[in-house]
Structure 1
């Protein structure tokens, strides 16, 4: 099969074409023919050597495909043969204490994370299990199905983690990126008022079209507080969904009102984040971490998209062989939404 693999770490040029055997599904496994794979900011960090991707890794954890074969002892997975599915990016084991408690995002005994622990979706085929696939209806295109778990599901999980309620004021940093544009839509669907922060002036109108009540381009804390006040905020926002980490974390924290909730789901420049303990204490703030979606989240996201409540934004499609060009486009902030590779 064709794939794109890492030839070292560095710029997009280290993504090179490769040929590998089609993987054979073992006990309990499904062979997925990849129909589309999203390009996530996580992939860019892995390519630069800042995460755990091994030598010659095949990146890509935002995968949609069709179940082309099943291994032995696959149980109900045999019913999925020929079905289109969207994949959760981590394959859990299903039997460790975390999995048994329903905390599959915390599992570290399964096969692991696509692109790091197992070969990912920058290829024509990947392996999966019934624990990390969710069927998708024909009404959802392949390029949209690929990004449901990460680009859509991550923000969905984060907003739920924060207990987002109707009429909350939600601040979304990095709102023009793949996760950000969908978090804006989901927050609006939940009845919240949304303030979108972006560093790209060219994305302002798109974010308004997606439901943001206000869009601020590279603002300071005073501008954010004034905007939140105009929307009726009581001394600050109720929820901040932090997608960029280092560049905006202090701003997001200062923009929260009393008992505000910040959910940290991204850190584009891996480093220690400064936390003002006095601010957190005096305002009684809550800071959550939130990982990727699990299969339950993904199933709910599929329903939201199928119903039209949320519209995935696969902004730009590239052939698999142009993975390097896709990385460049994302890195240069030329993409509002998600870049998607199609084998």
Structure 2
């Protein structure tokens, strides 16, 4: 695969990262992804739940392969307008208050537009708060401070902000000269970029697929039911292209593609994992095989929902998952090489 598709993947990744999409608020980014698949000439539908299903063609419709990634991210939702005019929020997905303290954010009101704010510890000035160092960072002790002239609940409510409004955190995306990709929400928008690039590669090179292939860009993955529905008839194998875990006790680095053998729920299909490893070895792809201790995926919930499929999971190595995440362009290259090799 020509390296230009790696750079296309990064371009698409930056574009989807720039579109706020905390789980439950994904229409804008889903519409963007649909438009990109349609530009490439593919038939695309939006599921009732809001996911994106692209038909990439292929011959054998009774033994189809589905590649899945998700576009919903971590975020928060307003649960209370406080007496001081600031906002108490409830996390969406596995958001950790420690990882977003001091982060800029947007509040999406339902009827009066978007507002800027910052997620801060309550009473965040160290020159005032003698308990600053000892206070636990959680969603009881932190708040969103609005960048508006408000000092009371009434002031904030006059802006149209209310419980149930979504809070979107700044991804702060950057790619370094040394090839490191740093951003919130690489889980899993980096994989969405890669699937779009793989779809472009198939179209540009006029590659005929022996098996029918679908790309399924899910929503609600971060809360556990992204891939639970809308799997087309004939799909017998589903591979989640998500993030590869990087951390103590694991083999993967940000420069590799990770093949998951087991996560916190169950082992992945033996034949699929074996086939992925075989493809990586035969094509000189830099990979690792790992067990993810605290992890679940779209293919897990697809099985739990009763789908009779083989399942697997791969992804570019990502460090600091669910925080300010980091991967590398080499991890993207190796993941795309594995997709090319395995899906032949």
Give the TM-score range, shorter chain: under 0.3
The structure that is helix-richer by fraction is 1
Please identify the structure whose Cα radius of gyration is greater: 2
Considering Cα pairs closer than 8 Å and 6+ residues apart, tell me whether 1 or 2 has the greater RCO: 2
Structure holding more strand per residue = 2
TM-score (normalizing by structure 2): 0.27
